Amino acid sequence: MSIRLLAQSRNRGLYLEVAQTAAALLAAEDVADHWDEPSALADFSVRGLAGHLAGQIFFLPAMLAEPIPAEPVIDIEDYYARVEWIGTALDTPFNQRIRTGGEQDAAGGPADLAARVAACVAELRTTLPGEPGRPVRRPTWGAWSISFDDFVTSRMLELLIHSDDLACSVGVPTPEFPAEAVQTVVDLLSRISLRRHGSTAVLRALSRAERAPASISAL
């Protein structure tokens, strides 16, 4: 097997482990108990945040069901450089759609959402390892696409971040994820942060607290 295919296989395997952990969090009684309460994220209810987290699992089969796009393929760093939602206000149309989508995914209640997520993860365990590489694209993007495996990485980032958000929202410990998955996501966040804030700000934040900027948030 080529190095590229080995990396692809490992990345998909990490995604499945992360998705399984997120599914367990979504099925926790604490999530159901706090379902209609505000979450740790502004303007997000717990149920809306749970729906948004689940959406990062539902996205994969949905993207693969779309026709193969004709738009040129860009890499994942270029993808994050082009998206318009990074750093935007909560009341932008994009962020409003995110919250609405989360509420819609969670409309059937916590047990329904947890069951649908578990079924999707089980399906992906069968289909994802053998899925051929191909480009994918969402209609809201510009005239470009990304590789399916870069999209998998972007969803893994979302799963780690929003699992922490959901755990904090309902007062449970943040799940432990595989170290390699965390390293993959932190590496990507670091590269996004370097683009947004510059090398000096990132170096100081990681090594010199007395000169560190207030934030080097990637997103």
Does the predicted model carry a pTM greater than 0.85?
yes
Tell me whether residue 44 is in a domain: yes
Identify the burial level of 77 via C-beta atoms within 10 angstroms of its C-beta, where 0-12 means exposed, 13-18 middle and 19 or more buried: middle
30: nearest Cα among 132, 210, 171, 177: 171
Domain count, the chain: 1
Per-residue pLDDT averaged across 40-44, rounded?
Answer: 94
Q: What integer pLDDT is reported at residue 5 of this predicted model?
A: 66
Per-residue pLDDT averaged across 160-170, rounded?
Answer: 98
Q: What is the CATH number of the domain that holds 161?
A: 1.20.120.450
Q: What integer pLDDT is reported at residue 42 of this predicted model?
A: 92
Tell me whether residue 205 is in a domain: no
CA 74/CA 85 separation, integer angstroms: 18
Q: What integer pLDDT is reported at residue 198 of this predicted model?
A: 96
CB count, 10 Å around CB of 20?
Answer: 17
Tell me whether residue 27 is in a domain: yes
Q: What integer pLDDT is reported at residue 179 of this predicted model?
A: 97
Q: What integer pLDDT is reported at residue 90 of this predicted model?
A: 86
CA 211/CA 199 separation, integer angstroms: 13
Tell me whether residue 206 is in a domain: no
List phi, psi (to 5°) of 135.
-80, 155
Domain that holds residue 74: 3-173
Tell me whether residue 8 is in a domain: yes
- Rama region for 2: left / alpha / beta (φ>0; ψ in -120 to 50; rest): beta
For residue 7, name the pLDDT band (cuts at 50, 70, 90): confident
Tell me whether residue 203 is in a domain: no
Tell me whether residue 194 is in a domain: no
Copy the structure tokens of residue 50. 């749970």
Q: Does the pLDDT at position 186 exceed 90?
A: yes
Q: What integer pLDDT is reported at residue 1 of this predicted model?
A: 57
Q: What share of the chain is helix, strand, coil (3-state, %, to 5)?
A: 65, 5, 30
Q: What integer pLDDT is reported at residue 89 of this predicted model?
A: 87
3-state secondary structure of 66: coil
Q: Does the pLDDT at position 26 exceed 90?
A: yes
Specify the higher pLDDT residue, 97 or 5: 97
Tens digits of residue pLDDT in 72-125: 999 999 999 998 888 888 889 889 999 999 999 999 999 999 999 999 999 999
Q: What integer pLDDT is reported at residue 2 of this predicted model?
A: 65
Tell me whether residue 219 is in a domain: no
CA angle 134, 137, 139 (to 5 degrees): 160
Q: Does the pLDDT at position 8 exceed 90?
A: no
Specify the higher pLDDT residue, 177 or 2: 177
